[in-house]
Structure 1
Amino acid sequence: MENKSDFFKGFDKDSIITIMALALPAMIENILQVLIGVVDTYFIGKIGTEAIAGVGVTNLIMNIYIAFFLALGVGTTAIVSRNIGANNIENANNAVRQSIIMALGIGIVFGMINFIFSKNILILLGAEERVIQYALPYFFSVAVPSVFLCLMMILSSSLRGAGDTKTPMKIAIISNVINIILDYILIFGIFNFNGLGILGAGIATTISRIVGVILLLRKISSDKTKIYINILDKWHIDKDILKSITKIGLPAAFEKLIMRFGQLVYGGMIIKIGTEAYAAHNIAGTIETFSYLPGMGFGVAAATLVGQNLGAKKTDEAHKIGLISYFLATGFMVAVGAIFYVFAPLLAGLFSEDLEVIDLVVKVLRIIALVQPFLCITLVITSVLQGAGDTKFPMYSTFIGIWGVRVLGVYILGIKLNMGLVGVWLAISIDIIVRGIILMIRFVKGKWKEIKIE
C-alpha cells in the first residue's frame, strides 16, 4: 500500500501541462459529440414524433453494440500505451493491426445480424408498427454498416494510446460538420432533390463515419505518428495479442452492459411514478451529460499516460498522473455543478414550461451538483484502472453499485417510500458515492500497478 505521505507527491507544473494537453482535445471532442446529437435530434424532430421514436429505438440497440466497440477501444488503448511507454513500437503497431482485424470481424457480424433480423429486433424492443415504418430505414442505414463506427472508435483509441488526442478531435470536427450538412440536404432536400426523410439522416451519419475512418487510416498510414500501419502490408492474426485485447476489453464491455440493463430496469420504475417524473428525469439526465465531459476528457488523458508510464516501469509517475487527472477534472466538474445549482431554474425552463416538471428538474440538478467529486472518481479513476489493464475491478464495482445500490434504492426510496423522482436521484447519488469510494480505495492500494499485459 502507498505511503499516505506520498498521496499528494509530485504535483508539478510539467505533469499538469502534459495532462491538460491530452485532456482538452478529448473534452472538445466530447462536447462536439453532444452538440451534434442535439442538432441531429432537432433535424429529425422536424419529420415528426414517430421519426424521433424510430431513432430512439435504433439507438437502444446501437448502445449495446457501442458497449463492445468501447471495450475493444479500452483494450487497444491499454496495450498500445503500455508498448509506447516501453518504447516497443513494433508491438504497438501490431496491437493496432490486431484491433483493426477484430473491429472488422465484430462490425461485420453485428451488421449481418442487423440485416437479417432488423424488424424482429425492433419488435423485440417494443416498437409499434407506425414507429417501425420510420425506424427500419434508419436502422438499415446506421446499424447495418456499424462496422464503420467500430473502426472509427478503434482507430481513435489507437491514436489516443500513442498520446495523440488532437487528431481524433480534428477528425471528429470534420465528420460531424459533414454529418450536419448532409443531414439537412438528405433529410429535407435541396434544389430539385426532394430529400429522403429519416433515411437521409441515417445515410448522412454513415457517410460521415466513412469519411472519419478514411481520415484516421490516412493518419496512421503516415510517418507523422508514433504508430505506423501500412495497410498494403501482409496482415496476419496474432492470437496472443487478440487474447490480451479480449481479456482487457470484455470486462469493460460487461461493465457497460450492466449499466445499460440497470438503466432499463429503473427507467421502467420511473415511468410508473408518473409522466412528469419521467420527463423531468430525462431532462435532468440530458443536462447532467455536460458535467460528464471534463471527467471523460481527463479520463482519456489519464488512461493514456498511466499506460505509457507503466510500460516505462514508472509506477510512481503513473500514480501521480492518475491523482492529478482526478483533481483537475474535479475542479472542472465542481464548477459545472455550481452552475447547475445556481442556475437550475433557468436550465430547467429551457426544456419545459410545465411548472411541476421544472420544479422536479431543479431539485434533481441540485442533488447532482453535490455529488460531482464522487462522479469524477467513477469517470477518471475508472479510466486510470482501465488504462492499466485493470478492467475487472470497475466491472465488479459497477455491478455492486448499479444492482445492489441504485436499482434497489430506486425501488425503496422512489416507489416504496413514495419519495418520487427525488428518491430516485438520491438512490443514484448513493450509488455514485459508494462506487467512488470503492474505486478510490482500489487506486490508493495500487494493485493496478501490478497488472501484466502480454
Structure 2
Amino acid sequence: MTLFALTWPIFIEILLHMLMGNADTLMLSQYDDNAVAAVGVSNQLMSVIIVMFGFVATGTTILVAQYLGAGDRERAGQTAVVSIVLNIIAGLMLSAALLFFGRPILGAMNLPPELMDMALIYLQIVGGFAFVQAVIMTVGAVLKSHGFTKDVMYVTLGMNVLNVVGNFILIFGMFGAPELGAMGVAISTAAARTIGTIVLFGLLARRVRGELPWHYLTARFPKRDVRDLLKIGVPTAGEHLAYNGSQVVITMFIASMGTVALTTRVYTLNIIMFTLLFSIAIGQGTQILIGHMVGEKRFDDAYRRCLRSLSIGIGVSTFAAITVYIFGEQIFSIFTSNQQIVELGMTLLLLTILLEPGRAFNLIVINALRAGGDVRFPVYIGILSMWGVAVTVSYGAGIWLGFGLAGIWIAMALDEWLRGLLMLWRWRTKKWQKMSFADNPAAETDEPVPQTAGH
C-alpha cells in the first residue's frame, strides 16, 4: 500500500465531487447569476451539515485503518457496521431539520430577498436527502480504509455523469421536461447521490464480504465502538464546525456587500478548489497510511511519512495556485461575462497564491495527527484561530476598513498559516505516539504494512 496507489484514486474522486458542484454552478451561470448566488449560500449551509456526517466518517477511517494495521479485522468490521447505522440515524434527523426550518435559517444569514425562494427550494430538496450523503461518506470511508479507493472513485464518476445529464434536462427544460432552474439542479443532485448510495452498498457487500457483522448491533448496544467513534469524531466535528460556522458568519459579511460580492465568492471558490485537490488527496492518503503504521507501532515511519507528504503538498498546491491565477481571466469567462466579477475574482486568485500553502499545512498535518489519535489539539487551536483571526480580521479588513472580499481573503490566509505552523509544531512533539486506539503490542517491527484484499 503506497501513498501514490492510495492517493490518485482519491484525487480523481475529490476532483469529480468538485466537478459535480462546478457543473451545477457552470450550468446555472448560463441560466441566471442570481440562481448561482442562491445555490452558493444554500451549499454553505449544506457544508455545515456534511460536517455532522463527516465526524463519524473520519472516526471510521482512522479506527478501521488502525485495526487493520493491528491485524484485528473483527474490530474493524464491528466499527464499520456501527458507523454506517449511526450516520444513517443522524442523517435522517438533520434532513428533517433542513426540510422544516430552511426559511428561518436562510433568513438569519441576511440573504437578499430576491434570492430567498430559489435558495429555499434548493436547500429543502438537497437537504431533505442529506441522509443519502451521510451514507455515501461512511461507506466510502470503510472502502477506502480497506484500500479500495478506486471503487469509490468509479461510483463518484457515475454520479457526476448522472448529475450533468440531469442538470441539462431539468435546468433548461430539454426533451419536454419542465424548465426548473435551481430546483432542477437540486433534483438532479439528490437523484444522482441516491443512485450512488445504492451502488456503494453493493460494492461494500462484495469487497468486504464476511467482515461486516450486521448481527453485532442486535446482540447488545455497541457502547465501546460508539465511544471510540465519538472520541475521534466529536473533536473532529468541533474543528470542522468551528471552521464552517466561521465561514457562515463570513458569508453573512459578504452578503451585506451585495449580490455581486456573493456571486464572485461562489465563482472564485469553485475555481480555487482545484488548487486544493492535491493537498486534500495527499492528506487523506497519508491518513490511511499513518493509521496502518500506528496500528503496527511503526511510529518513526509514520513521522517521516507526514513530513514527506507535507513537502509534496505545499509544493504542488503553490504551483497549482500560480497556474490558476495565470489563466484566471479565461477561467472566469467560462462562468460569467460580468467584468466587475472577473476583476474582483482575479484579485482573489492572486491572494490565493498566499492562501494555499497554509491550507496544505492544515489538510496534511491535521490528518496525520488524527490518524495517530491526537484529535483534541486541532480543535482548540482551530476555534481560537478561525474565530479569533479569520472572523475578526474579515470584519476588520473587509467591512470596517473597506477592503471588501480582498480583506476577507487576507484574513483566511492568516488563519490557515497560523494553524498550519502550530499543527506542524504539534506533530514534531510526537505526543500522538501515545494516543493510538488499536492495541497491538506485538507489532514493534518495521516490516511493511500487510496487504489487504484487492491491493
8 Å CA contact retained: 1:77, 1:160 = yes
**Preserved contact between residue 169 and residue 175 of structure 2 (Cα < 8 Å):** no
Contact 2:40–2:266, Cα closer than 8 Å, also in 1: no
Superposition pairs of residues 68-87 of structure 1, within 5 angstroms: 68-87=52-71
Aligned to 1:14: none
Percent sequence identity is: 28
Cα distance, 1:47 vs. partner?
A: 5.4
- 1:148-178: CA deviations, max 9, x gaps? 1100111101112222211111111112212
Residue 425 of structure 1 aligns to a residue in which SS? helix
What does residue 228 of structure 1 align with?
211
| Comparing 97-106 and 45-54, the one that deviates more | 45-54
Question: Cα distance, 1:66 vs. partner?
Answer: 0.4
Shift of 1:206: 2.1
Partner of 1:4: none
Tell whether the 8 Å contact from 1:221 to 1:230 is kept in structure 2 after alignment.
Answer: no
Q: CA deviation at 1:132?
A: 4.8
Inter-CA distance 202–351: structure 2 relative to 1 (3 Å threshold)? closer
Residue of structure 2 aligned with 1:319, choices 286, 292, 303:
303
Cα separation, 1, equivalents of 2:75 and 2:254? 49
Write the distance in 2 (CA, Å) between the matches of 1:403 and 1:302.
28
Change (3 A) 1:144 1:324: same
Contact 1:86 1:312 survives alignment (8 Å): yes
In 2, the alpha carbon distance for the partners of 1:405 and 1:122 equals: 25
How many corresponding residue pairs?
A: 437
1:375 is matched with 359
**Is residue 329 from structure 1 mapped to residue 316 from structure 2 by the alignment?**
no
Q: Work out which of the residue numbers 365, 369, 376 in structure 1 matches 2:349.
A: 365
Provide Cα deviations, 1:85-141, integer angstroms capped at 9, x if missing partner: 001111001000000110111011112323443444444445577655444543343
CA distance in 2, matches of 1:412, 1:197: 37
Q: TM-score, normalised by structure 2?
A: 0.85
| DSSP 3-state at the match of 1:143 | helix
Contact persistence 2:33–2:263 (CA under 8 A): no
Partner of 2:86: 102
- 1:245 Cα deviation (Å)? 0.6
Q: How far apart, in 2, do the equivalents of 1:187 and 1:363 lie?
A: 31
Match runs of 1:197-276 below 5 Å: 198-222=182-206, 224-225=207-208, 228-229=211-212, 235-236=218-219, 237-270=221-254
**Residues 227 and 164 (structure 1), Cα distance of their counterparts in 2 relative to 1, 3 Å cut:** farther
| Structure 2 residue corresponding to 1:141, chosen from 116, 121, 125 | 125
Report deviation, 1:56: 3.5
SS in 2 for 1:391: coil
Question: Mind listing any 5+ residue stretches in structure 1 that lack a counterpart?
Answer: 1-16
The corresponding residue for 2:146 is 162
Q: Are the equivalent residues in 1 in contact too, given 2:57–2:141 (CA < 8 A)?
A: yes
After TM superposition, the score normalised by the length of structure 1 is 0.86
For 1:291-302, what aligned pairs fall within 5 Å after superposition?
291-302=275-286
2:69 is equivalent to residue 90 of structure 1: no
* Distance across 2 between alignment mates of 1:402 and 1:433: 11
CA contact (8 A) 1:220 1:229 kept: no
Indicate how the Cα distance of structure 1 residues 177 and 42 shifts in structure 2: closer, same or farther if over 3 A, else same: same
2:136 corresponds to 1:152: yes
- CA shift digits 1:278-321 (9 cap, x unpaired): 65544443322111110100011011111111111111111122
User: Which range moved further: 59-68 or 362-371?
Assistant: 362-371
